[in-house]
Structures are given as C-alpha cells and as structure tokens.
Amino acid sequence: MSPLRNFLVASCFMIATAGSAIGGPVMDEIRKDDRLVCLVNTNSPAFSVPDSEGVYRGFNTDFCRMAAAAILGDAGKADIRGIGFSDSMKTIVAKGAHMASRSITNTGTRDANPGMRFVVTTFFDGQGFMVPRSLGVTSAKELSGATVCAEEGSTTLLNIADWFSDRGIQYRVENIADKTARLQAFFSGKCDVLASDRTALNSDRLLADDPEAYVILPEVISNEPLTLLSQPDAELEKALYWSFQVMLNAEALKVSSGNVDNVVADLADQPKSVQRLFGQDSAAGEMASQIGLPAEWSYNIIKQVGNYGEVYDRSLGTEDYGLERAGTANALFSQGGLMYPLPIR
C-alpha cells in the first residue's frame, strides 16, 4: 500500500471513530465490576463518618456517589472505603482504588506524579491551628516553644515549618500518621497545638469530650485546594470533572433533587441552559455519548445526590458543624466565591 493510501485510510479511520466514546482502562474496569471504589477519610465529622451500618456519610462521600451516579447510573454503587492520609495517594498509584475524595490538597509536586490525576477542586480550605482554650492563646504568633501535633505525609508539616521559620518562632513537632493517635496526643495534652486544614480542625474539635474546651486560632497560613483524585484515565477524569460541573450548574439554575423531576417533565418549556443540562438530545446527551456515560447521567447526579449547594448544606451547614458558606471561596462565582460553573453546551 502506498504512503498516500496509508495516510488516507488512517484519516478515514480517525474521522469515523472521532464521534464515538473510546473507554479508558479504568472506566472499563468500573463498568465491568459495576462498582466504583472511592477512598475517604476514616473519621472526619461532616466530611466522612460511618453510620450505624458502617456506611460512610458526609460531604466528601457525596462526590463518590456523584461519580457512581454519573458512570453507573446508581449512586449506591460507590464502594466507599476509609483510609489514612499517608496511604490514600499510594493506594491510587498502586491501582487499589479508582478515585479519592479525601480532602487531599492539589500541589505541584503531587500533580506531577504520573500515577495519579488531580481532577477538580470541591472545597477551598486553608491550614490553621487549634489549641486548648485554657492556654489563653489568641494568636498563632504566641506559640513560641509549643509542641505541635501534625499528620505525617501531609502538606501540614511543610506549611508549619515555613510559617514558624519565617517568623523566627521556635516549636517542636509530633509527627503522627494515625489520626486516632494524633487526636489522643492532642486531647491528652501531649501536644499544645493541633495543626491541620481548618475544616479538619472543626471536625476534630467535635470529637473532643468537651468541644468548647478548644478554640481554632484566626490565622490561615496556607492555600489548600481540596481536590478529587483519580487513577490516570482520560474518560474517568472527564466524567468526574463534568459531573462536578453539573452540580454547580444545577445550583446556579436552581435545580435540585427535590424539583428535578418536575423540571425534566417540563423540559421543553425550561430555559435553554436547563435543556442543555438535562436533554438527551442536547449538550448533556452528546457528552454522554462522547465520554461513555448513561444517557441520563446529569439527571442521575442531581436526583440521587443533589446540586453542590445541597451537598454543602446537608453536611457542612448543619447546626452541629455550622460552616458558613456565604462570603467564602466556596460560594458560587455569582456570589463572590470561586465555584465557577463551566458551560455545558
């Protein structure tokens, strides 16, 4: 066959296959096994805590269910497993799980690792400090000589080293990988300070016998974009990224798990942006075909899990946790935040 004929045949093949979904190996495995393995924190109130039946519930777990609803059509097919921080990224690289929704900060060196992919940020956080109220400390600048409990393998150690060093403050660190042991060391007084993401500190405070005996100091010493992590697979990454965009778009368009059935039943009379979000013969349907998702993938996400605001309010905006969203980076872009719904069209 001549070089020209080779080129023409190859070109025709590429054109013929361009419109069809070519599943990646991880997506193929998820479909074959009919389950999606997702890693979360082992015990983080409001983010991931096992209920009385051992099923993990909370903010982070809902993004595992989001993925299962989008890819498999059933949020209940998310196989959610608790794991310690130091083992979470290792497990993804070792192909022991498909994804993680475990408050993992996206950093340059981590993102450079070819064995894993940071996909989309679900929460913007920052690192801080918690101390016993009895210390009478009102600022982290007063922590000279303090012993700080921190999590092995996390960005926490690097951040506190930078922060204390820049200010010439002497400190001692207790580097403890196991969360139970770390909290025990702090609550028993072995450590003067617990350092972590501020949302994690808020969760950890609720695990104390007397939460009111502890206070989170005002300093925020780092940027912590908490991001969904997956095995490298273009189709899986697209599925996760755009599933999250469905949740943001639905909130912006005021479509929720409670009204989505009525919206879809009257889709022809809905705004064009809503039609594109849920119509099987519109943008959402075209995306389903290209990525290899069920035709009703966007509907399944909102009906079974909810929009981003619902997920946030259900776990983080509760009376017990009470994490304010308005005026923070986690608000929608239209309300001054960083949650910017990308167009589905």
Report residue 23's pLDDT band, with 50, 70 and 90 as the boundaries.
low
DSSP state string for 93-119: HTTS-SEE-S-PBP-HHHHT-TT-EEE
Residue with tokens 């190859």: 10
Q: Is the pLDDT of residue 325 over 70?
A: yes
Tokens of 98: 């498909």
**Average pLDDT score, the chain:** 92
pTM passes above 0.85 = yes
- CA nearest 118: which of 256, 264, 241? 241
Mean of pLDDT values over 161-190: 94
The terminus-to-terminus CA distance of the chain in angstroms comes to: 42
Q: Is the pLDDT of residue 321 over 60?
A: yes
Spans of all domains in the chain: 22-124+225-253+306-335, 127-222
- CB count, 10 Å around CB of 262? 10
Contact 53, 264 (CB under 8 A): no
For residues 205 and 5, the model is more confident at 205
pLDDT in the model for residue 186:
97
Same fold, 22-124+225-253+306-335 and 127-222: yes
Q: Is the pLDDT of residue 318 over 60?
A: yes
The sign of the torsion formed by the CA atoms of 277, 278, 282, 283 equals: positive
User: b/e for 52-90, b at 16 or more Cβ within 10 A?
Assistant: eeeebbbbbbbbbbbbbbbbbbbbebbebbbbbbeebbe
Tell me the one-letter amino acid at 192: D
* The listed CATH number (3.90.1150.10, 3.40.50.720, 3.30.70.260, 3.40.190.10) that belongs to domain 127-222: 3.40.190.10
- CB count, 10 Å around CB of 182? 22
**How many Å apart are CA 187 and CA 113, to the nearest integer?**
36
* Percent share of the chain, pLDDT over 90: 86
Phi, psi of 277 (to 5 degrees): -75, -30
- Which H/E stretch holds residue 4? helix 3-17
Farthest-apart Cα atoms in the chain, separation: 84
User: b/e for 133-167, b at 16 or more Cβ within 10 A?
Assistant: eeeebeebeebeebbbbbbebbbbbebbeebbeee
Q: Is the pLDDT of residue 176 over 50?
A: yes
* Percent share of the chain, pLDDT over 70: 93
Q: What is the CATH number of domain 22-124+225-253+306-335?
A: 3.40.190.10
